[in-house]
Structure 1
């Protein structure tokens, strides 16, 4: 009976993090990625606990099109205003398709047009603190062009009192076809803040294994810290995981919302993440961020960035 009780007490403790995924950082600087459509579709009450000082809400939905113009969606005015009144920092995530990115980075006129579009966008939306560029899927041969873009863009944003932030892939023990495009930026201080995407250590591109590991993230933070100051760095963590089932070559995505109870019951905590590994499956999911928050504080980085709210 005692063993039974202790087991369920431990489950309850773990699930307390799941039920309030960001509760462990209640008073710490936190970066939250959200879907732009969720800002529109979910009730205001859904967002209340996240609307506070020291929170950055980075929302998707702004796309650079092939003509270098922007297509975007904004948070509802009521939500935006309420967040600002409570000290929330709003930053749109800006992305483009690989083909579009290659064209813009290699055609000077398009590159200039994109910069002008971004600056005009921020003039029209002065409530935003800056922009977050999430540029992925481009060949390493264009990394120099991306670096040049950032060198031109950052001073222009600073003149407007806005910040340039980036999402960066890890450079250690990560698929080269993804990492190499970010290599130049990883080793040159070209942004005001960067989010280290410390996830997909194992993914559909790799053999089965944990989606992230604390020790792996630390290796990459240490490397990034040779270029960027600690207060420029955010540690990006996944609120999702992967599960490889026997007989299937590709994993399915698992989440705290649907899989926390099973992972807490069957998994073991190892290197910052819960892992289930047996003859039937290999699955992993972060169920609490205690070790990760401790790491971020020890190193002195800005805090944790979560991809993404809703998992």
Structure 2
């Protein structure tokens, strides 16, 4: 979790405590507020200390219980401010995976130069429908989110139209182990590798593979996208981070450049993909 995010969460907690202590009918103790809300006392302290992220409903109930219903809009605005950077999967996936795909489609459509590093799976914009279906299904199982898999696959495939748009340039780095990772059935991965082979040489895509055996100057780490050097998008198991401060951008730009120096391109990338294909179990 980013320091800026935690500081914002702690600031919101301080504001919640202030509302509790200055309630119009008199100062409320934490236990009294918990009783009024029907919450465990630990939730009051976690919210006030910034150890738990409030939901909009939490904020609404808090404002009402403290006798300050008008303060809800201010609290909600504070929450929205830092949630725009840290987007938890629990909240994003309430409506399923399709809205998330649509948000990424728009972000890529609004960008001209896109750089990516991925160490876990083939990036969405290069996926086949069957591979996308497998990845999205695994994600839905993990997060126990609504199963709108087919709609989400169609949305992800729509993103690929951008690959054929003049003036847009994708610089994509993949770590070699993901060419062999069976997050999907072997025939699906075989077709996905064939798709990658066809990508090499496209005018709008510069695809590099970082070999498993090559010396690395930085650990592989997590995957990320850099959009026009304006913002970075990266994922953790619990959230998606949209980051735009200068120091963070500089760090991710330097990371991408360092990994790029270890990547294989063109014929060498072809050889790595073909080698991976030969290791797959027979259909």
After TM superposition, the score normalised by the length of structure 1 is 0.26
| Structure number with higher strand proportion | 1
Structure with higher helix content:
2
